[in-house]
Amino acid sequence: MVRFARICGTGDYVCEECGTAYHDLETARRCEDFCRTHHACSLEIIRHAAHQPSEVPSTGS
């Protein structure tokens, strides 16, 4: 399930499979579907990323 995170003061949607953040929910969902199905990221989708996984703070313990 795509989660919502605040990164650098903006709200972004994060693919839970790969941790990449997107400005729009639709793209985040597409990424997550692709990641789950193929166990890899789509370069076509990921180039729309707002933030790479290394920039996304992990939530919770």
- The residues binding Zn ion (CB under 5 A) are 15, 17-18, 31, 35
Q: What value does the CA radius of gyration of the chain take, rounded to a whole number of Å?
A: 10
Nearer to Zn ion, 18 or 56 (CB): 18
Alpha-carbon span 26 to 12, nearest angstrom: 11
User: What number of H helices and E strands is found in the chain?
Assistant: 2, 3
CB of 5 to Zn ion, least distance (A): 14
CB of 60 to Zn ion, least distance (A): 19
CB of 22 to Zn ion, least distance (A): 9
